[in-house]
Amino acid sequence: MRIGYSFWGFLGSGITDTPDGGRSHRRAFINAIQGAGHDVVFLQPNRDLLEAGDRVADRYVFDGGLPGIDVLFTEWRWPIDGRNTTACTADGHTCDLHRQTELLDHYTHALGTPSIVWDKDRMLPLKDPLRRHRGVVVCEAALAPTPGARSLLFPVDDALLAEADPAGLAAQPRTFTLAYVGNQYDRDEAFDRYFAPAAAHVPHQVAGKWPNAGRWPGVHFVGRVPFSAVSRIYAESVATVLLLPDRYAAVGQMTQRIFEAVLAGCVPLAPSTIAHVDQFVPEQLIVDDGEDVLAAVHWLVCNAGTAEHADLIAACLAKLDVFQLSRQVQALQTILGELDAPRPQAARAGR
């Protein structure tokens, strides 16, 4: 099938001053889709080249028009006041939402092209007509997605899991006891309950955009860092806490931070409020509050480099099986098979 893929982000490291968790997995996902025999054409601008001057995307096809496709696949974009809701000529405008609207109007609504909406941020309203459109499948990166939606998790390359060495990761010297990489968005309550109380007692660092950092004067914020620095931060830290917005925690939607951390040997501690939390981390890494976090990191520091530490990292790696790239591509293949029904030739005509 020829898949028209719409995403607002990067395939490479991109630029520092932007949120785009998809950088951790998007290119591997696309490569696997192509490896399964599908053609992919990107329908948003090549931001790697235009903004980062990076030619990583040269091997892919970009089309700013309305080419013929079999399926429209969009990483869902939503209105952001002052950014993508303004006129195209306005300062600071990004045209991701306008372009997505154009694609949906042309393919989904006018031509009846089968469409997949990957609501990676759980921002598609429950009453949005797309959820009831017979030619649309909504996917969420959650173990218990919204009724009617399908589960499509953020993928981690099978090869990276196979190559990970728990003993080697456990033996690695680490400067910081605790770290967090990610932006503040809707995480204040979780940060207050789990991270900040423990951070007051151990060497730590927090990387990301935290506009209200002054609320936590005892926490060391380093600001946004390049995507290439994420693995380094985890590699020099003993543990992290998987802080999720409530809308993620309620449905068991884990971000890419879990496999970024574990692959670097940084042990992930998971709040007990996350639905299906036992599917993400071993039981001993489930925490109820900051005291639990502090107790867990104390044990980790005292046992650093031991067989027990290596076994724990191995158990964390095993929990990542649910995110395996091969599993997620198979989930997509199943959806594509369901969408691949006879339809008028006009659905492929494009313009």
Per-residue pLDDT tens over the stretch 113-157: 999 999 999 999 999 999 999 999 999 999 999 999 999 999 999
- Looking at residue 124, its pLDDT comes to 97
17 falls in which pLDDT band (50, 70, 90)?
confident
In whole angstroms, give the CA distance from residue 165 to residue 198. 28
Read off the pLDDT of residues 229-243 as tens digits, 9 standing for 90 and up.
Answer: 999 999 999 999 999
Q: Is the pLDDT of residue 177 over 50?
A: yes
Interior CA angle at 132 toward 130 and 135, to 5°?
Answer: 75
Over the chain, what is the mean pLDDT?
Answer: 94
Residues in contact with 289: Cβ distance below 8 Å, sequence separation at least 6, in sequence order: 193, 194, 197
Phi, psi of 223, rounded to the nearest 5 degrees: 80, -175
Residue in 295, 271, 267 with CA at minimum distance from that of residue 176: 267
Give pLDDT tens digits for 281-335: 999 999 999 999 999 999 999 999 999 999 999 999 999 999 999 999 999 999 9
CA–CA distance, 107 with 196 (Å, rounded to integer): 47
Burial of 296 (0-12, 13-18, 19+ CB in 10 A): buried
Which of these, 236, 160, 227, lies nearest to 204 by C-alpha position? 236
What are 137's strand-pairing partners? 116
DSSP state of 229: G
Q: pLDDT-based confidence at 343, cuts 50/70/90?
A: low
pLDDT (0 to 100) of residue 46 = 96
Q: Are strands 61-62 and 39-42 parallel, antiparallel or unpaired?
A: parallel
Closest residue by Cα to residue 187 from 195, 178, 197: 195
**Beta carbons of 274 and 250 less than 8 angstroms apart:** no
CB 80 within 8 A of CB 41: no
